[in-house]
Amino acid sequence: MTKRDAQGEVKPAVASRVCVLGGGAFGTAMAQHLAVKGSQVTMWALEQEVIDSVNNQHENPAYLPGFKLSERLVATLSVEEAVEGAEMVLLIIPTPFIASWIHENQRKLPWTVPLVCCSKGIEESTLRTPYEILVDELPGKYHNQLCVLSGPSFAKEIAGGLPTNATCAAKCSEVAYRVQSLVSTKSFRAYSASDVVGAELCGAVKNVLAIACGASDGLGFGDNARAALITRGLAEMARLIVKKGGRATTINGLAGVGDLVLTCSSKLSRNYSVGYSLAQGKPIDSGKAVAEGVKTSLALHILADQLGVNMPICESVHKVIHAGVPLKNVLASLQGRSLKSEDEDATLQSAS
């Protein structure tokens, strides 16, 4: 059971052992955060070079350069070794590969401890979010332990111990409280939530909107334009969330406006940087740290079309990246659409 104080409030607790599945930037940052908190952390990574660097030099220069990692953090190529004795498992695998990874490793995963999904995006072939993939691919005995971690959280800042706030969303409230307790510290504050649909869709859509904001800034459209893209982007998020059965009010939290503002206004954001580079006429970088919004923009285009959801900003990003429409023309055309009322979107929030 989750540790609580005399008033019933959730209190931070330290797991003796934690497993992190994924040795990229965010996986390494969360592993470091939990190791510094006091947990013995085993991180599964795909690349032998990452494993060797973490275990021998206590660094991950391939994905998170410049940080000395805790000696309580070890890396392995073995999933069985990574999950052994873990009181919590964090899944931080790129969304396009989650289903195949689960097919190969499902029998190795514990089903009596929280399985926390930190991946963001929409699977292109099936239009499923990471949580939906896990529900579909894992046996029912795992489902009550599923949780989503989302919010404004750059890997470098987490690894550096800078103040960070995030949302732990789960359909089982006790699981949300448990994860909240195990990840929270004085520098990392987690909030519990129940709207898994909203938290996940916010995390997917914000990456596409960040590309639009980066492009707008790259073209010199100014602060007014970026503020408008963020605000109207929130309206697009809310429409999709409601259509998928979530709550529009989730956009007001850390997974929504919190993560969106961060991702849309910082050059630390890979998605923002993609948009900015496109505005400079540069091709999309296909290196290791590929921006999630590039693939998500295509999946979102298909999903919004199927559901009949109006998402003009996200659709504009799709046109630029996947249909070859000139960037300046697409962004400028957003201003030329027929005039609307903001009251339509306000109704969504009051209804939810």
Which residues are marked as active site?
206
Extended beta strands in 12-56, E state: 17-21, 40-44
Record the tokens describing residue 131, joined without a space. Answer: 């949580």
Q: Among candidates 217, 206, 200, which has minimal Cα distance to 273?
A: 217
Q: Is 160 helix (H, G, I), strand (E, B) or coil?
A: coil
d(CA 300, CA 153): 22
Residue 269: phi and psi, rounded to 5, are -75, 125
Residue 342: phi and psi, rounded to 5, are -70, -20
- 8 Å CB contact between 115 and 89: yes
Q: Among candidates 329, 122, 338, 323, which has minimal Cα distance to 215?
A: 329
Positive or negative, the CA dihedral 287, 92, 320, 268 is negative
Q: Among candidates 114, 145, 153, which has minimal Cα distance to 15?
A: 114
State the alpha helices, DSSP H only, in 119-189. 130-137, 155-159, 173-183
One-letter amino acid at 36 equals V
d(CA 269, CA 33): 20
d(CA 16, CA 13): 10
Q: Among candidates 82, 37, 69, which has minimal Cα distance to 183?
A: 37
Rg (CA), the chain: 20
DSSP 137-199: HS-GGGGGGEEEEESS--HHHHHTT--EEEEEE-SSHHHHHHHHHHH--SSEEEEEES-HHHH
- 8 Å CB contact between 333 and 227: no
d(CA 297, CA 215): 14
